[in-house]
């Protein structure tokens, strides 16, 4: 973080920023609000490509979020910008190709900010990164989007715990 007054920033990243990464963004933002951390942490999302820039969230992803009370109608897809390596404390890749791309493109000293989102899921945290990805539901049906929800949701508590530890190292007292 740049200073203790700056928020801790997380970005979730997938391919086009219309399915997995916006789902993770909205789910994390909601969990951070529920944990009382919203004033200290900001979450956004992006894609590694420009394929979907300017488009709204995939309607199937929106249906899953809506079913869980998370409106996503404001989302507009965008591409990850290199400047964000220095502006984000945690860069969460949704699949192994995003992880590899982000780490490869990272400037010196920033690659360690790039983590697999599912590293924070205790059921798979011990696995190699190649086994921690979330497949693109875009090619599937509504059930694949429900699976994506479940996989992201399993990682959210671990991410919240990680953020609490990070904030504590910065001297910010946040209740558990």
Q: Show which residues are catalytic.
A: 14, 20, 136
SS3 for the chain is: CCCCCCCEEEEEEECCCCCHHHHHHHHHHHHHHHCCCCCCEEEEEEECCCCCCCCCCCHHHHHHHHHCCCCCCCCCCCECCCCHHHHCCEEEECCHHHHHHHHHHCCCCCHHHEEEHHHHCCCCCCCCHHHCCCCCHHHCCHHHHHHHHHHHHHHHHHHHHHHHHHHHHCCCCCCC
């Amino acid at each position: 973080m740049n200073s203790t007054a700056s928020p801790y920033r997380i970005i979730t990243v997938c391919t086009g920023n219309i399915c997995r990464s916006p789902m993770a963004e909205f789910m994390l933002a909601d969990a951070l609000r529920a944990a009382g951390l919203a004033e200290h942490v900001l979450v956004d999302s992006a894609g590694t490509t420009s394929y979907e820039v300017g488009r709204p969230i995939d309607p199937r992803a929106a249906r899953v979020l809506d079913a869980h009370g998370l409106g996503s109608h404001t989302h507009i897809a965008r591409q990850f910008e290199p400047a964000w390596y220095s502006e984000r404390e945690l860069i969460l890749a949704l699949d192994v190709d995003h992880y590899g791309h982000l780490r490869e493109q990272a400037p010196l000293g920033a690659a360690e900010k790039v983590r697999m989102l599912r590293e924070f899921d205790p059921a798979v945290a011990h696995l190699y990164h190649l086994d921690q990805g979330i497949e693109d539901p875009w090619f599937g049906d509504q059930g694949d989007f429900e699976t994506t929800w479940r996989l992201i949701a399993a990682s959210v508590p671990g991410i919240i715990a990680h953020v609490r530890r990070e904030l504590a190292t910065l001297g910010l007292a946040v209740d558990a």
